[in-house]
Amino acid sequence: MIALYVVIGVVVVLAIILFMQYNSLVRQRNQVQNSWSQIDVQLKRRHDLIPNLIETVKGYMKHERETLESVTNARTSAVEAGGRGVGQQAKAEGELSGMLTRFFAVAENYPDLKANQNFLALQEELTSTENKIGFARQFYNDSVLNLNNKVQQFPSNIVAGMFGFKVGEFFELEAPAEREVPKVSFT
Amino acid sequence: MWEQIRANKIKSVWVIVGMGVLLLGFGYLIGELFFESGIAGIVLASIVWLIMNLVAFFQGDQVFLSVSKAKKLERSDHPKLFNTVEEMTIASGLPKMPDIYIIDEPAPNAFAMGRDPNKAAIAVTSGLLQRLNRDELQGVIAHEIGHIKNRDVLLMVISGITMGAIVLLADFALIYLILGGAGGGRRSSSSGGGGQGQIIILIVGIAFIILAPIIARLLYFAMSRKREYLADASSALYTRYPEGLASALEKISSSTNVLKSANRVTAPMYIVNPLHKPGLKASDLSSTHPPTSERIRILRSMGSSASFADYNRIYSEVHKGGGGVIPQSALAGAAGLVETRGASAEEARPEKIEKLERTREVSDLVEKLNDYTALACKCGAKFKVPTDFKGKSIKCPRCGTVNHIPGR
């Protein structure tokens, strides 16, 4: 009799551990998905803001056609890269970020532009969207790290294997140089 | 590292249960001493606690915000502040962006409100907006979001109320004891002999009446200080830029302005203790906040790593052998390597020009919120007039023309 109780007890404990591990894995996976949609929202917002920006600065920056065109091109390829997987999209968006920082560095040379309220508002919006993308990426990568730890570490890897949980993909920017924010000198 | 919130929830419950047990035990003792029934004391203590909690639960945020004279902001009022809060909401993974309030006071400070992350609010003073650059503002907002994310507001409100109930009961008991000196006589007549045992119980009871509020207060203050450290660590984690908060703390604490709308009840909610007197010893046991210099030192020592584990290690180094400040449960799931980032581009701008811009921005905002009337005189002078002048006439200080201000 006692042996039976012991067996039942062990089974119940194992079942509880299984439930808890499974729920924890589902929670982590949902967080990864949710934080990815956060990045997506911000990337879309950036795509929407750029045409306005180009429209606003066109009159002021007549001699910078090349810069403006490269921003527009980078935007187009970033929009096209959407839905082609995390790695591809990260690459295109990373290039767009680089183009934008270069563009704002160039814009510093136009005092008239810096007095334009519309431009200042757009600059604030784009800078902030840039930050939001960065923070959303940070949160996404943290979530992926947590999920991956769960999927690969013992004992949760057993549960993950049983129910087909997969490791997530990190959102990495391509070149390490792009991670640095350029210093703009005013002297 | 996001597992810590769940761990904190469980931990908070234990702290509150502990304080509740202290309150009930205290109620029982008071009941035994004064009503000859411990149960009556427990009932009394529970009723006091419940009423205070209900008031705080349904009215707390509104009362607190109106006591602090806070005004709600819309996105168009101050896009930069809104964006900063939104950025930190994303970085922390909060489900919903907190409401933003502004307090028109020159003393720089900020606080977070809201028991529930879905109904949270952050208030900043106009002095804070004027003084801090974007990176510093971000650090402060991240600290406040950290409070919301770690459920500190709920924890501090409930434990504050429990402490308040204990203090209140102790005050009543002392007054009762002093005024009703005859109470002891009545008691001994009802219980017959055993005089010596009675006296011992009475002495223990009085000692408890004096000690319980002190213990409750120390518990409360110690917890408050721990939560501040945890919010600092969260700020470093969300922004990946501890220097921003460090330099903000430096600016806030070096300000000589005194926050007029703060009082003893609201003090623990602010980022830097608004009531701190310069003469007070920094590491005072009865302080709601850790010494600012120490918070800055820990943040500055973090160097290029911003994880909870690093914050904890540096904290232990500063407090020699004093153990860590981050719950073990939070450290267990923490990511190994968390790098900091560089300063944002705004840092490079000359501080003086930037401050002028910010000051103008904030004073425009405050005037707009206070419903000032913009007035242009014939001579070209422009001025803004407070609401009290509506429907009256004023003379232009430049050319002397009398201008009529349209009424409401």
Cβ contacts (< 8 Å) between B2 and chain A: which residues?
Answer: 31, 142-143, 146
pLDDT above 90 (res B211): no
Q: Which range (B18-22, B130-134, B174-178, B319-323) has the least confidence?
A: B319-323
CA–CA distance, B293 with B249 (Å, rounded to integer): 9
Hey, what are B17's tokens? 């249960």
- Within-domain flag for A64: yes
User: Which of B2, B238, B345 shows the shortest C-beta gap to A184?
Assistant: B345
**Residues B311-333: what's their mean pLDDT?**
60
| Interchain proximity A31–B79, CB inside 8 Å | no
Contact B153, B393 (CB under 8 A): no
**Residues B331-337: what's their mean pLDDT?**
49
Contact B401, B379 (CB under 8 A): yes
Domain hosting A33: range is: 2-177
* Mean pLDDT for chain A overall: 82
- Within-domain flag for A163: yes
Question: What's the pLDDT score for residue A175?
Answer: 47
User: Which of A35, A104, A125 shows the shortest C-beta gap to B93?
Assistant: A35
Tokens 């945890």 locate to: B230
**Residues B289-304: what's their mean pLDDT?**
79
Question: What's the pLDDT score for residue B188?
Answer: 43
Question: What's the pLDDT score for residue B332?
Answer: 47
Q: What is the pLDDT of residues B374-385, one digit of tens each?
A: 777 777 777 777
List Cβ neighbours of B306 (8 Å cut-off, separation of 6 or more): B236, B237, B239, B240, B241, B242, B338, B339, B340
Q: Which range (B94-103, B211-220, B233-242) has the least confidence?
A: B211-220
| Interchain proximity B87–A131, CB inside 8 Å | yes
pLDDT above 90 (res B140): yes
Contact A39, A171 (CB under 8 A): yes
Q: What is the pLDDT of residues B144-163, one digit of tens each?
A: 999 888 888 777 777 877 88
Per the structure, how many domains does chain A have?
1
Q: Which of A131, A129, A136, A134 is nearest to A52 (CA)?
A: A129
Question: What's the pLDDT score for residue B182?
Answer: 44
- Count of pairs with CB atoms under 8 A, one residue in A, one in B: 69
Q: Which residues make beta-bridge pairs with B101? A: B72, B123
Identity of the highest mean pLDDT range in B56-60, B126-130, B278-282? B126-130
Question: What's the pLDDT score for residue A177?
Answer: 45
Q: Which of A142, A165, A141 is nearest to A153 (CA)?
A: A165
Please give the distance of CA B292 from its chain centroid, rounded to a whole number. Answer: 15
Q: What is the pLDDT of residues B84-127, one digit of tens each?
A: 999 999 888 888 889 898 888 888 888 888 777 888 889 898 88
CA–CA distance, A123 with A118 (Å, rounded to integer): 9
User: Which of A31, A104, A139 shows the shortest C-beta gap to B90?
Assistant: A139
pLDDT above 50 (res B301): yes
pLDDT above 60 (res B1): no
pLDDT above 70 (res B261): no
Question: What's the pLDDT score for residue B85?
Answer: 92
Interior angle at CA B130, CA B367 and CA B71, nearest 5:
45
CA–CA distance, B12 with B223 (Å, rounded to integer): 10
Residue B256, judged by CB atoms within 10 A of its CB (0-12, 13-18, 19+), counts as exposed
Q: Which of B180, B219, B227, B177 is nearest to B202 (CA)?
A: B177
Question: What's the pLDDT score for residue B333?
Answer: 46
Q: Which of B75, B73, B77 is nearest to B124 (CA)?
A: B73
Task: Give the H/E segment covering residue A107.
Answer: helix A86-107
pLDDT above 70 (res B329): no
SS3 B395: strand
Question: What's the pLDDT score for residue B262?
Answer: 65
State the pLDDT confidence band at B340, using cuts at 50, 70 and 90.
low
- Write b or e for each residue in B198-213: b if 16 or more Cβ atoms lie within 10 A of its Cβ, otherwise e: eeeebeebeebbeebb
| Torsion angle (degrees, nearest 10) of CA B90, B93, B95, B97 | -30
| Interchain proximity B341–A179, CB inside 8 Å | yes
- Greatest alpha-carbon span in chain A: 91
Question: What's the pLDDT score for residue A84?
Answer: 74
What are the residue boundaries of the structural domains of chain B, listed by start? 4-332, 372-408
pLDDT above 50 (res B281): no
Backbone phi and psi for residue B342, each to the nearest 5 degrees, phi listed first: -80, 175
**Residues B286-314: what's their mean pLDDT?**
75
Contact B239, B88 (CB under 8 A): yes
More confident residue, B62 or A130: A130
Cis peptide upstream of residue A155 (ω within 30 degrees of 0): yes
Which CATH number fits the domain that encloses residue A77? 1.20.1440.20
Residue B141, judged by CB atoms within 10 A of its CB (0-12, 13-18, 19+), counts as buried
pLDDT above 90 (res B20): no
State the pLDDT confidence band at B342, using cuts at 50, 70 and 90.
low
CA–CA distance, A162 with A172 (Å, rounded to integer): 29
Question: What's the pLDDT score for residue B326?
Answer: 64
| Interchain proximity A124–B238, CB inside 8 Å | no
- Within-domain flag for A182: no
Residue A78, judged by CB atoms within 10 A of its CB (0-12, 13-18, 19+), counts as buried
- Within-domain flag for A186: no
Q: What is the pLDDT of residues B65-80, one digit of tens each?
A: 777 778 888 888 888 8
Please give the distance of CA B284 from its chain centroid, rounded to a whole number. Answer: 18
Cβ contacts (< 8 Å) between B345 and chain A: which residues?
Answer: 104, 127, 181-184
* Mean pLDDT for chain B overall: 74
- Within-domain flag for A58: yes
Contact A107, A67 (CB under 8 A): no
Helices and strands per DSSP (H, E), number in chain B: 13, 8
Q: Which residues of chain A have pLDDT under 50?
A: 175-179, 182, 187
Write out the catalytic residue numbers of B.
Answer: 144
**Among B87, B89, B331, B361, which would you mutate to test the A interface (most chain A Cβ atoms within 10 Å of its Cβ)?**
B87
Question: What's the pLDDT score for residue A10?
Answer: 93
Question: What's the pLDDT score for residue B294?
Answer: 81
